[in-house]
Structure 1
Amino acid sequence: MKIKLITDSASDLPLSYIQENSIDFACLEVNIQGEFLQDDFGQTIPYEKFYAHLRQGEQTSTSQVNIHTFEELFERYIQEGYTIIYIGLAGILSGTVNSATVARINLLEKYPDADISVIDSKSASLGEGLLVAKACEMIQQGYSKNDIVSWVETNRTKVIHAITVDDLNFLKRGGRISAATAVIGGMLGIKPSIKFDNEGAVLPGAKLKGNKNALKYLVNQVLEKGVDLASQTIYICHADCLANAELVKQMILEQTSVGDIVINPIGAVIGTHGGPGAIGVMFLGTER
């Protein structure tokens, strides 16, 4: 059985990993100065250039993947005889998974024997990416499609998202948190943290004083909530603050053994809502 793994650009995995493992993807888009550009793992708009726009006050917005795009993407692999697993950005954050679901329904009318699984990751950025990478690993190890889908659906709410941001106003503008929450964070002069609930909705977390305490908080979340750290990969995503990401990695390795640590920038779509300076650690725990 040939399995084709597909994700979307909000998974924020390294482009080299996507390419080396033949993972296909659908691109969400970001609107910059009235022009919609593909969020394609830093190819169309490099990460540094995107965050420079945000720091200069540019008001960016994002757009989900449409149904037609998924129909074209899925149909190509159906015709090549693949069974398809698509793992997408949390449905509560974007209509992208819904577009994929409608595309699946439409294609099954044309190809009744097609095998397409659409999975809502209930996650974002490298939290989604973690699930994609695990599915990829299971494909390479020869697991069945049903076993892979079952693992992802069972474990998606065990993906912990520990995130700190510099400015809550980016989340407020995108409708991810309330105006009151954003104002309180700004008034206290703190480094706010956020977390995800089991549907992937953004919730306010601990309020942290200063960058040093914020980074310690991220590390402590791994130590307190992570399971079987010695054999799992920890994912660190950052919004143009690589030095902080490297410091978090160093702090984790000083205190525990882990299977591996992957660091990658946050792409334009997720970065639009998190803003420059955001940093997140994603890993498997017992529950969110």
Structure 2
Amino acid sequence: MSESFYTWEDLRYLMTRLRDPETGCPWDLQQTADSIVPHTLEEVYELVATIESGDVDAMRDELGDVLFQVVFYAQLAQEQAHFDLSEVVHGLVSKLIRRHPHVFTDGHLRAVQRHHFATEAVMDQWESIKQAERETKLQMHVLDDVPVSLPALTRAQKLQKRASTIGLDWSALAPVLSSLKQELCEFEMALDSPEKHADIAHELGDLMFCCVNLARHLKLDAEQVQRAANQRFEARVRAYTALAEQQGLSPVALTDEQRDALWSAAKQQVQRQSEHSRGHS
């Protein structure tokens, strides 16, 4: 028998059923907010993967999985009399109205008035409003609410962006590049003393931090840039091993010349495939 088209309320009901002490799911009943954090992170990364792949059907499914995480956390909070899902929605809508005064001009959801603002001006306004909110919450420092659990590149870029709001930034790209070159020199100097492993790690970290800053000044997201680089490398390695197999060669028993030639061919193959995909997108 076919089921009816499920709704938001059905999802909320399903969650209460899963957590019912007498008839619920044993696994779901054992979970806490802390225990499902790894699942939440996994679901978010799976969603990102579907977005990057362009698979719309898979994206729909993964959005559902992420939504379930939100409903799960809200259910746990409701059971402990902290808040419920309706309060989550209310808080979200209120916050977004407050942070979009250029859209909701009188502070009300139904306000409709056309305004034209440059994206940069809107982002500046957004940061000013968020800073005012932090001060209201007694988060007096601009870095107080940058989560330590963020991926390292994402957190580095967020720290840099926050620091820029108090003047710790360059206004042009040239000094960013100069700083990167300086950090590279310091890293190379550290390599002259290989026994000082901590110094090498320190300088390498500074160099990577500068690369993130360069991405930020180029208005690129460092995490996405690195993910794309990872994907390119993976595609090239797969092409490299496939080409070696086609030529009856073992990847681990190649001369330097053979390896370089195969790697160059693999890069060209991946580049052609990428250009072909873009041409049909």
TM-score, normalized by the shorter chain, greater than 0.5: no
| Greater helix share, structure number | 2
Q: Which band: TM-score by shorter chain?
A: under 0.3
Question: Which structure would you say has the larger Rg?
Answer: 2
Q: Which has the higher contact order (CA 8 A, sep 6+)?
A: 1
| Greater strand share, structure number | 1
